[in-house]
Structure 1
Amino acid sequence: MTLTIQNETIDLDNVSQLYPAAIIKYADGTVTPISLEWFDKMANQDVNLLHYAICIHYKEEAKPPSFFTYENRKKLEEGIADIAKQIDS
């Protein structure tokens, strides 16, 4: 099965993880994806939200993860709904 995210086709047979995240920057400059739940409950002035993303990690460890970014939570939720629609069809 394949999914299309932001005009890129992803073969799910090659995917180990697919998840939504908030991409944050810590005060020390570290940038990392975190769960939406963590961001909603725990984020404070020590982190800066850069954007939201759908993150994909591949089974082939040498292949770097893909991050499909969204400017706001509403756009991310639309992206998630689109993925769900593709899986259900």
Structure 2
Amino acid sequence: MIITIQDKEFDTKEITQLYPAGVIKTGYEDETTQVSLEWLDVEAQGKVEVVGFGIFIHLGENEKHTFMFDTRDEMDEEIGRIASQLQA
């Protein structure tokens, strides 16, 4: 099955990981890291600087694609579009 994310097509047979995450500053220069949305909601309230949200796709071990969003609502809308494609 082929799914499309922001005009980029992926064969679901090749996807080894597909997940949403928050992106926060680590506190070291301009470095950022991914954190789970659950951790962001429960543990991080007011403790970290969120710089965005992303949908991350891994194709095997070497190929990775990142789709970044300014707000969680924008990311959630894209996740809804992905889910609709997977349910079709």
Which TM-score bucket, shorter chain as reference?
A: 0.7 to 0.9
CA pair 13-45 structure 1, distance change in 2 beyond 3 A: same
Q: CA RMSD in A?
A: 1.5
Q: Percent identity?
A: 36
Q: Distance in 2 between matches of 1:10 and 1:26?
A: 31
TM-score (norm 1): 0.87
User: Can you give the 5+ residue segments of structure 2 that lack an aligned partner in the other structure?
Assistant: none
Aligned to 1:24: 24
Residue deviations 1:40-81, cap 9 Å, x none?
11225553211111111121x222x21111110111111111
Q: How does 1:3-82 map to 2 (within 5 A)?
A: 3-29=3-29, 30-44=31-45, 47-59=48-60, 61-63=61-63, 65-82=64-81
**TM (normalized to structure 2)?**
0.87
Give the aligned length.
87
Where does structure 1 lack aligned partners over 5 or more consecutive residues?
A: none
